Structure 1
Amino acid sequence: MSESPSILVAGAGLAGLVAATELHEAGVSVRVWEARDRVGGRCWSPAVGPNDVRLDLGASWHWEAHERVRTLAERLGIERVRQHEPGVAVQEWARDDPVDHFEWPEAPPPSWRLVGGAQALHERLAAALPDAALRLRHRLRALQRAGGQVQATAQTPEGPQDASVDAVVLALPPRLAAHALQFDPALPDALASALRDTTTWMSPSAKAAVVYDRPFWREQGLAGRVRSAVGPVHDWHDAVTPDGHAALVGFMHPPGPDSPTPSDPGTRDAALVRQLVHCFGEAADSPIGIATADWRHDTATTPPTGPKPGPHTPPDPAPVLRRAQWEGRLHVAAAETAADHPGYLDGAIEAGRRAASALT
């Protein structure tokens, strides 16, 4: 590579921004192309309700074994809050039957959320990059190896944009890269197959967040935890913030004709409130904010072919995904490629650091 190599990182999720900031700190010229109009990838923490409570509608939790997340959050000055669990949980069996209550364990495996949402990690990392390094609404479409350079082409609001760089870090979901990008020369069959076959974490998921003026469930001695057999949300969790803003966040059945979750946004919001009233009583009837996300239809996460069929389990990445291609000029660094905790926030940090280390 040249004496002052230039590296393109495709994707401003956690893996991509970790790779970009570590390359920048090492003195490497780096640029980041992100298809969305924001950083964060599958970590999205929009402001919900009149108090702008930032809640995770994408990836959220990390656990004790995820030391990389803890140390990165500490370095960036982001506080962690332990997930509230103790108390009585609710089991919803049918829409018209009374709910059951059961004691939720006092000490499940402890998990943490990040104050300000998981997207805060990305915003702090992006702020450490030069102003010109990050380009939003730049969707990578093609990569062509040309001698000692890689020619990259992006779709942008102003039309196609090209860049010649020394190397590329693909911090995109592997299945998306397989379906959405053109490679010249074509990738080896083993790598192309591994990209197509790797499960995308969050891709089949949908989430909902509801904000209230007070945490009435805690006042009732309830954990805020709901397990439901009828939806639209099958698992609700307490998401009260450290400064006391009351919220519940849950994993929602993706909307559709055969789903308990309506496709129409207004009807969907009403169904969410009805469910919470059924589980918690009339105190749940007056939310001050509602937000939902369906990752199946996020085009920067899921290819047009849809999520990979089968159970939504953590990916089991093929080792070929961690090997540099094109004589060291192409690196795959999505969270799903990590050797440790693939698919999780911790795996994203590992993957980003692996790519940065290989290029410095």
Structure 2
Amino acid sequence: MPRSPATSADVVVIGGGVAGLLVAHRCAATGDSVLLLEAGERVGGRCLSLDAGGIRVDLGAAWHWAEHTRVPRVLDRFSLARIRQYEPGVAVFESGRNRPVEHVDWPSTPPPSWRIEGGTQALIDAVADVIPDGTVHCGMRVDRIRQAGPDGIRVEGTGSEGPFSVEAARCACAVPPRLVAHTIDIRPLPSGVKDALRHTPTWMSHSLKAGVVYDRPFWREDGWSGRVRSLVGPIHDWHDATPPASLASGGRSRGAGGLFGFGPPLQQGVSMDDFRKRIVEQLVHCYGPAARDPVAVRVQDWSRAPRTTPSAGSACRVDEPTAVPALSREYWNGRLHFVAAETACDHPGFLDGAIEAAQRWEEQTSATASAAA
């Protein structure tokens, strides 16, 4: 992707996750010139997929539920399909590493959930593909946002070719609020907004996800669901990530299978290589010798991801994100907006929240334009 942005645009978008990409797509579709500045070397944010064996396993955002009505609408818009999370079969309960695992019938009553076929990366790819060339610039770390006269905003930072400065009429900041508070100097801002940015936890910044790919989903062949609940870890919850294309009629395997799961962040002194070995050992304990030779094992510790979690860490661990009204408002006479998933009024932190935040940008900027007309 291009690394040297233009020096001016109608809109500057900061952050290339789901919300940032959707805002950039909408701006370009309505005729605005737009620049998207992403500090990392890829777009997608917390949408990250492990590609191995011809399948994708999500290491970041993965699921949506029935109440997340915006996700299927966006998937339809980009001609993407979704997969019902596989749950039936026998689950594994691991109470201790030196104890035999227990096999239990997994109840068929959990709320249905879905994943995106091809992983959440499929959504990222689909949106990025329809954004005009020259819009997205990776490796561009934004350090400052300032008002520039009565009608403009100036965004400054550092890229691979040195400092940059871009002036625009509007700015959509799609960076997690707490990361904004610790890495981007925005002035002036009301003290209440600064506090909201600083104290809004970043969803997934206190967690770790792992993905393991095998040449076939052997657990399904044996009647297991792929669901593991462990009291000892290193991964406490495993789920099946096998795509329908890997299964023939009757559940027989015809392609690679995957598992993905959640655990606490890496402990100090534990190397990634050792952690991956522990993951395989855990799956062998749960599933036997068939789990000994995976095609790929990958771990994403979001607590150590500098484009997600500041060096100060997450504000706190949360079980459910909470809407923060101050972050869903527009500032500087409609020129500055915060549009990360955590700023959503509905389902903040989730995929649906990221989509809502992008839609809110569209609604607010449309209303501002109508008022000015």
The letter for the 2-side match of 1:314 is E
Letter in 2 for 1:340: D
Deviations for 1:200-242, whole angstroms, at most 9, x for unmatched residues? 1111111111111111111111111001111010000001112
The count of residues paired between Structure 1 and Structure 2 equals 349
Look up the equivalent residue of 2:291 and give its one-letter code.
Answer: A
Q: What is the distance in 1 between the residues matched to 2:351 and 2:260?
A: 19
Aligned amino acid, residue 202 of structure 1: M
In the alignment, what sits opposite 2:34?
A: 30
Which residue of structure 2 aligns with residue 314 of structure 1? 320
Deviation at 1:5, TM superposition (A): 6.8
Question: Among residues 185, 188, 197, which one is paired with 1:182 in the alignment?
Answer: 185
CA distance in 1, matches of 2:270, 2:139: 27
Letter in 2 for 1:169: A
Give me the whole-angstrom Cα distance separating, in 2, the residues matched to 1:283 and 1:5: 55
CA distance in 2, matches of 1:93, 1:5: 57
Q: Distance in 2 between matches of 1:120 and 1:211?
A: 18
Q: Please report how far the alpha carbon of residue 115 of structure 1 lies from its aligned counterpart in structure 2 after TM superposition.
A: 1.2
Which letter maps to 2:293?
A: S
Q: Which of 39, 45, 49 is 1:45 aligned to?
A: 49
Q: Which runs of 5+ in 1 are unaligned?
A: none
Matched, 1:172 2:179: no
* Separation of aligned partners in 1, 2:139 and 2:113: 33
Alignment equivalent of 1:253, drawn from 264, 288, 296: 264
Q: Does the 8 A contact of 1:225 with 1:238 survive in 2?
A: yes
Pick the aligned partner of 1:87 from 77, 86, 89: 89
Match of 1:55 among 54, 57, 67: 57
Contact 1:198 / 1:317 at 8 angstroms: preserved in 2? no
Shift of residue 252 of structure 1? Answer: 2.3
User: 1:65-94: per-residue Cα shift (whole Å, max 9, x none)?
Assistant: 111110111111111111000111111111
2:285 corresponds to 1:275: no
| Deviation (angstroms), 1:304 | 0.9
* Distance apart, 1:52 and its partner CA: 4.0
Name the amino acid aligned to 2:218: F
| CA distance in structure 2 between the aligned counterparts of 1:174 and 1:253, rounded to whole angstroms | 22
Counterpart of 2:126 in 1: which secondary structure? helix
- Looking at structure 1, the residues matched to 234 and 40 of structure 2 have their Cα atoms a distance apart, in angstroms, of 27
Q: Is the 8 A contact 1:39 1:119 kept in 2?
A: no
Structure 1 position 184, deviation (Å)? 2.6
1:329 aligns with 2:340: no
TM-score by length of 1: 0.94
SS of the equivalent of 1:46 reads: strand
Q: Normalising by the residue count of structure 2, what TM-score does the alignment of the two structures yield? A: 0.91
Match of 1:301 in 2: 308
Fraction of identical pairs, as percent: 46
How far residue 156 of structure 1 moved from its aligned partner, in angstroms, is 1.0
Q: Are the equivalent residues in 1 in contact too, given 2:229–2:238 (CA < 8 A)? A: yes
| Mapped partners of 1:160, 1:52: distance in 2 | 40
- Does the residue aligned with 1:351 lie in a helix, a strand or coil? helix
Kept after mapping to 2: 8 A contact 1:87/1:106 = no
Give 1:167's aligned amino acid.
Answer: R
Q: Distance in 2 between matches of 1:312 and 1:88?
A: 30
Letter of the 1:293 counterpart: Q
Q: Which amino acid aligns with 1:198?
A: T
Are 2:24 and 1:20 equivalent residues in the alignment? Answer: yes
1:163 paired residue among 155, 162, 166 = 166
Does residue 127 of the first structure (1) align with residue 129 of the second (2)?
yes
Match of 1:346 among 343, 349, 352: 352
Contact 2:324–2:345 (8 Å) recurs in 1: no
2:13 to 1, 9, 12: 9
Q: How far, CA to CA, are the matches of 1:265 and 1:323 in structure 2?
A: 41
Q: Deviation at 1:352?
A: 0.7
- Asked if the contact 2:9–2:167 (Cα under 8 Å) also holds between the matched residues in 1, the reply is no
> After superposition, what is the alpha-carbon deviation per residue over 1:119-152, rounded to whole angstroms, capped at 9, x for unaligned?
2111111111110111011111101112121110
Distance 1:288 1:193 in 2: 45
Task: Output the CA distance in 2 between the equivalents of 1:347 and 1:70.
Answer: 13
SS at match of 1:109: coil
1:310-331 alpha-carbon deviations (Å, 9 max, x no partner): x322221221111111111100
Deviation of the 1:154 alpha carbon: 2.2
SS at match of 1:135: strand
Please state how far the C-alpha of 1:102 moved relative to its aligned partner: 1.5
